Each structure stands twice: as structure tokens, then as C-alpha cells.
Structure 1
């Protein structure tokens, strides 16, 4: 599955960095049409996480993942042939649905196959995914030097082929054990009390709500930093892409070493305190960057990028562990699917949150960081009783990955 992560993200890196340009120059869409396309794909994609998790609790995980990867490939290939706006909307929506479902399914696979080592496994997975994004982005940049329709279509075809390759590689992966399917199968002969599910689990839903806030670091790098550098700081505009590179390099270099600090449920919960400090520091340095000279502003923005990247890595470690530890073993897929809604919702709310911080003057960034920091403390208290009363971490798993 680790090799699949690399292949998948190389393909995504090929497409993500040029999709807007493709729709502009190849499909001939207006800015409004492209915005509608992205919004539609994002809105429909939100459903992918719970649907994927629900199916994974009822059918073999690898088969569901293969189906999703082929669905993503079909959507990408269809974009090549689509010549009407309605068709482009449908293809993009199907692709968004598959993207979110795939994200949850790969995390669930790691949970089942790695057992108590799931945090480290996810850290390695994320490191390879970031490396894949970088390789795909560099390849896309090289292809765009030609600037032809064929080059754009080639990048989209490469994205589609990466999903086909991922599906083929998944065929070689062993099917991990599933408590959920064991319970479901046993009900054919023996009555079993099944969990009520995450939609009636108020603690888990409250946890997911706090997760939506903690995922806002993603919007900082994609929207907040570039806009802040362009409109409110004295730093050179060329700093924006460099800070994105810094973010990527830090994740590749440090995600795995940091994962050891959240290897247990108790340790992961404890990381919420330094995570709170990292968010607060990031917001404060962003605010201060508007008040200094070019050099001072550049240094403060770099410090902010480091703080938010540290927060991103710490939150990833905490989230991987707590999202599983708070879920019953017999419904992990369904619960992780609901947890996936947090990141999906952030994709819509995040840009609004960071633009609000920008338009509210430097104090907006300080309030932004403080709000997320306080949410970390709320989450720290929220999960305490559940984790103390009933530790639900998954036990060791012995199935090996091929």
C-alpha cells in the first residue's frame, strides 16, 4: 500500500497543479465556470468519505479500494473526451467522490494492517504521498514548458493511468482482517448487538467538529499565506512558493520521526498541548509579519510557515490515533468515514476562515491561531472520559502486506 500511495500521488501531482490551466486553455471555461466546477466537485466529494467507510465495513476492503481507484480512472479519462460543461461537471464530481473515498479507505487499510504501529505506518504513508506530490508537480512543470493542448492532455492521462496502476497494485495486497465484517457475518446464525453508529455517537461527532477546525492549517498554505504575502506584508511575492516548498520538505523529513511521540493513545492526546502552542505561535507570527521591514516580514513569515507545518505534522499524528481509538473495532470503517467529513468540510470552510483573518487586519491572524489553539484544548478535554473509560485501540495484527 505504501507503493500505491507514491504512485497515486505522483498522478495527483501531475493534475492538481495544472487543472485550472487545463479547464482554461483546453476546455475553454470562464473563471465563474471553473469556480462552479471546483465547488461542485468539492461538495459532492464530501459524501465520498462516509460512503467509502460504510462499504469497507461490509465488503472486502481491497475490493472496495480497487473499485474506487477504477472509478477515479474512469472519471479522469472521461474528462479527456468531455466537450460539454455538464459532462465536465459530472466527471469532476465523480472524481471528487472517489478522491475522498480513497483517502478514507487507505487510512482504514493502514489501521487494520499495521495494528498498534498504525501511527508510524501512516507517517511513512504521508511522507511518500508528499514525495509523490513533489515528483508529479515537477513533472507537470516540465511538461508545461511546451504549453500545448497535447501536453495538458498528457498530464491528465498520466493522472488517470496512475489510478489504473494503483488498482493493479492493490490486487497484490493482502486483505486485512475486519472485526466489522466478522460481526456482520456472524449475525447470520447468532444474534449480535451492533453499535448504534457514529451518527448517534455525540462524543465522536463533537470530536469530528473539533477536527474540522484543526484541519485549517491546510487552508493557510493553499490560500492564506499567498494572499497575505501579496496584499498585506512587505515580503517579496516570490516567497509564497518557497514557503510551500519548505512545508513539503519539512513533512518529508520530519513526519516519521515525530510520529513516535504519538505512538500510543495517551501520548497522542498529550500532543494536543504542544499542538495548541504551535497554532498560537503561527497565528501570532503571521500577525507580526505585517508590521516589519522586508527582511523582518520575510523572517516572520518563514517562522509562521514552520509553526504551521509543525502543527500540521503534530495534528496528523494525533488525528491518526484518536480517530481510531475513539471508534469501536466493529465499525471502524463507518466511523473513519464520518471522521473524513472533517477534512472535506475544511476544504469549503478553510478558504473563508483565512480570508476572514486577512480582511480583519493583523489581529485577525492572532484570533485565528488562538481559536484553533483553544479548540485543541477543548478536544483534549472532550476525549478524556471516553479514552479513560474504554480504550478502543486496535490490537496487534499479523497479516502481512505483499
Structure 2
């Protein structure tokens, strides 16, 4: 079979049919646009709008905190309205908020527009995850892996294009990056408009002719075991903070490795995710198999932490080798957690409130984005021996989550093969 035919066959096997493939193009365009802007955002606020470093930090911190509410809000809406329409609303909200940044250099207005964008961004993450679960059905883990691979490729494309524009360094160059991100959201919204609404077991449908009253949906805020699961998830998302914040700072402040190693390790992370996310997804195709991934996940994280400690033992060669090992190990922890987290967050949610439950689960990654960098910088300040302590904390967290998930899966209904959450009383 020719290469073109093999590619066509692979493309046709993507779960979700035509709408599933269209959503992958949307993810690629969306993340490419985000990659354009995210690397330049802080510089734009400093060099173009004239904010001080302290003001930029406050703006990014507050807008990020506001964005935490986006996940549960989007999930709540997705149980009541067509998810494609809410996705389009979030895309247009981001486009308008970003475009508004071009109209002012007032700190209060920049903070407002950034917060509105952050709110929609965190909500859109939950909505796309929910759409994938509904359109791909039992192949949701494979589809999510493909979507994550495509998203990482989009980030890389946008980041490289953004780096070229940043080399110019003019006001118009920064504005062009922002406009490019706005255009990406508008194109994504136009493509989403062509996507069919998938079947939704959790969307409430009112039947005026129904004789029997409809029971209230499950409430994630009163589901103790799911809330505990979400809390453990926040700790397992720490690989993101270690990779993006911890390793670059550790290279500069604690090792003899050249500073230029930091961006190369980020490229390595992206390449590994693109190459390995889909092949490894088959190991998390069921809730039980996803739970089994928690053990190698913890092992990879511990190896990464041990390598970071070893990178300080002396010499440039040892530092580079240890840091490379740390980046590889933590990337595989990231890949395995993405697979397990995706499958378990869906499997443990009752069908009648999928959106609400995934919205609550989305708080875990949002909380990590806010608190993760603080924890990682505290570990760096404490010194090399603090990394193994962090690894031990992940082991404890994995053990707690594994036990919690096992108990919840035992309560799963054989008729529906899903976890049954306790009803609010």
C-alpha cells in the first residue's frame, strides 16, 4: 500500500467520523493560534502597553484565578444546552476579549479583558473534552490521545511562528501575533458551526407530556469520592509545573548545564508527546486499565525527581544527562497521567451529569496552574533533597487515588458498566 493510501486509511479510522476529524482540525488551528500569543503575552503587556513587571504578574495571576470558575460553569451549561453552541460561544468570547486588548493600555481594562479570556479558555478545555467523549463513544481514549497529539503539534507550529515574529520585536509584530490568535478562534468557530451535535446522555430534556416527574441529576459538589478524586488529580498534574517552570529554573540556579538546554528539553517534551501519546493510549482503554497506569506514572515521576537531584552532583556532562533523563521521565509521567485522567474522569461520572462532573474535574488542572509554580519554586529554594520528597508525595497521592478509584469502580452498575455516584439528598 502506498504512503498516501496508508495515510488515508489512518485518517478514516479516527473515531467520531467526519465531525471527529473536523474537531481535530479545530484543535490544530486553535492551539497554533494560542502558541502564537502565549509566548508573547507577557512581553506584549510590558513593551506595548507599558505595564510594569509587578502589574504583569498581578494581571496574569488574577486572570488565571478568575479562569478557574470557567470549568465548572461550562460543564454546568453543557448539561443543559447543545455543547457545540457553547463551544462556539467560548471561541467567540476569547476572540472578542483578545481583540479588546488592542484597544487600551489601561491596567483595569486589560485585567478585565484578560480575565474574560481566561474564563472562556478554561471552559473551552472542558467542553472539547466532553465533545470528544460524546462523539467517540467507547473509543474516547484513543480519540483524546489523537486530539492531544494534534494540539501539541499546533502549539509547536504556533510557537515557532511566534518566535520568528518576536525576533522582529516591533509593536506591530506583537500586535500581529495577537491578531493571529484572534483569527484562529474565528476560524475555529466557523468550523465548529459545521459540526453536528453529538448524542448527550446528560443533557436535560423537558417533556411536557411526561407523566412521571424527572429525578434531579447527580450533583458533583455533593459527591465526596469524586471531589476527593479531583483533589488527588491536582497533585498529579504537577508534572506540568515541574517541566515548564521547575526544570528551566533548576538549570539556571542549581546546575552546571548550559542555559540553552531548557528550550531544547521543551522541544523534546513536545516530540515525545506527539510520538507516544496515541500508541500508549491503548493501555488506558478501560477504567481498570487506566487505574493500572497509576503505578508506572508514579515510577516515572520518582525517576524524574531523582534525576533532578543527581543533576547537581557536579560536572556539565552529568548535569545535561541527568536533566535529559528527568525531562524524558516526567514527559512519560505526563503522557500516562493524561491517559488515565481522561478515562477515569469520564468513567467515574454518572451519565446524567457528565458536563457538571467534568467541570468539577477541570478544577484540578486549573488549581495546579495557580499553585503548581509556587510549590515547585519552594522545592527549588529548599534544595536538591526536596525533589525526592516531592516524589514521595506523588507516591502517596497515587496510592490514595488508586484505592479511591478501585472502591468506586466496585460500586459500578453492571447494567451500564459505569460508576454510579451517590445522589444528593
Q: Residues 198 and 335 of structure 1 are in contact (CA less than 8 Å); yes or no, is this contact kept in structure 2? A: yes
Q: Give the superposition deviation at 1:3.
A: 0.7
Q: Residues 100 and 344 of structure 1 are in contact (CA less than 8 Å); yes or no, is this contact kept in structure 2? A: yes
Whole-angstrom distance in 1 between the partners of 2:24 and 2:157: 16
The aligned runs of 1:244-323 (5 Å cut-off) are 244-323=266-345
1:17-46 alpha-carbon deviations (Å, 9 max, x no partner): 100111111001100000010011101000
1:91-118 alpha-carbon deviations (Å, 9 max, x no partner): 0000000100000000000010101111
Q: Residues 276 and 374 of structure 1 are in contact (CA less than 8 Å); yes or no, is this contact kept in structure 2? A: no
Equivalence for 1:59: 81
1:376 aligns with 2:387: no
Structure 2: runs of 5+ lacking an equivalent: 1-22, 420-425
Q: Give the superposition deviation at 1:132.
A: 0.3
Whole-angstrom distance in 2 between the partners of 1:281 and 1:349: 23
Equivalence for 2:147: 125
1:6 aligns with 2:45: no
Whole-angstrom distance in 2 between the partners of 1:74 and 1:246: 34
1:113 aligns with 2:101: no
Whole-angstrom distance in 2 between the partners of 1:394 and 1:207: 16
Q: Give the superposition deviation at 1:192.
A: 2.1
Q: Residues 412 and 418 of structure 2 are in contact (CA less than 8 Å); yes or no, is this contact kept in structure 1? A: no
1:49-87 alpha-carbon deviations (Å, 9 max, x no partner): 000010000000001110110000000110111231111
Q: Residues 116 and 394 of structure 1 are in contact (CA less than 8 Å); yes or no, is this contact kept in structure 2? A: no
Q: Residues 115 and 394 of structure 1 are in contact (CA less than 8 Å); yes or no, is this contact kept in structure 2? A: no
Equivalent position SS for 2:215: coil
Equivalence for 2:357: 335
Equivalent position SS for 1:172: coil
Equivalence for 1:400: none
Equivalent of residue 243 in structure 1, options 244, 260, 265: 265
How many aligned positions are there? 394
Q: Residues 130 and 355 of structure 2 are in contact (CA less than 8 Å); yes or no, is this contact kept in structure 1? A: yes
1:265-290 alpha-carbon deviations (Å, 9 max, x no partner): 11001111111111111111111111
Structure 1: runs of 5+ lacking an equivalent: 396-402
Whole-angstrom distance in 2 between the partners of 1:141 and 1:393: 48
1:143-187 alpha-carbon deviations (Å, 9 max, x no partner): 122211111101000001111111100011110111122x44248
1:226 and 1:356, CA in 2 relative to 1: closer, same or farther beyond 3 A?
same
1:225 aligns with 2:261: no
Equivalent of residue 74 in structure 1, options 82, 96, 112: 96
Equivalent of residue 185 in structure 1, options 194, 206, 213: 206
Whole-angstrom distance in 2 between the partners of 1:250 and 1:137: 17
1:360 aligns with 2:382: yes
Equivalence for 2:7: none
Q: Give the superposition deviation at 1:393.
A: 5.8
Q: Give the superposition deviation at 1:381.
A: 0.5
1:393 and 1:352, CA in 2 relative to 1: closer, same or farther beyond 3 A?
farther
Equivalence for 1:24: 46
Q: Give the superposition deviation at 1:225.
A: 0.3
Q: Residues 275 and 373 of structure 1 are in contact (CA less than 8 Å); yes or no, is this contact kept in structure 2? A: no
Equivalence for 1:140: 162
Q: Residues 229 and 404 of structure 2 are in contact (CA less than 8 Å); yes or no, is this contact kept in structure 1? A: yes
1:199 aligns with 2:221: yes
Task: State the 4+ residue runs in structure 1 displaced beyond 6 angstroms.
Answer: none
Q: Give the superposition deviation at 1:309.
A: 0.1
1:208 aligns with 2:230: yes
Whole-angstrom distance in 2 between the partners of 1:130 and 1:345: 21
Q: Give the superposition deviation at 1:376.
A: 1.1
1:188 and 1:265, CA in 2 relative to 1: closer, same or farther beyond 3 A?
farther
Equivalence for 2:175: 153
Equivalent of residue 186 in structure 2, options 154, 164, 185: 164
Whole-angstrom distance in 1 between the partners of 2:395 and 2:290: 16
Structure with more contact order per residue of length (Cα contacts < 8 Å, sep ≥ 6): 1
Equivalent position SS for 1:179: coil
Whole-angstrom distance in 2 between the partners of 1:272 and 1:221: 19
1:187-208 alpha-carbon deviations (Å, 9 max, x no partner): 8733122234100000000000
Q: TM-score, normalised by structure 1?
A: 0.96
Q: Residues 75 and 355 of structure 2 are in contact (CA less than 8 Å); yes or no, is this contact kept in structure 1? A: yes
Equivalent position SS for 2:102: helix
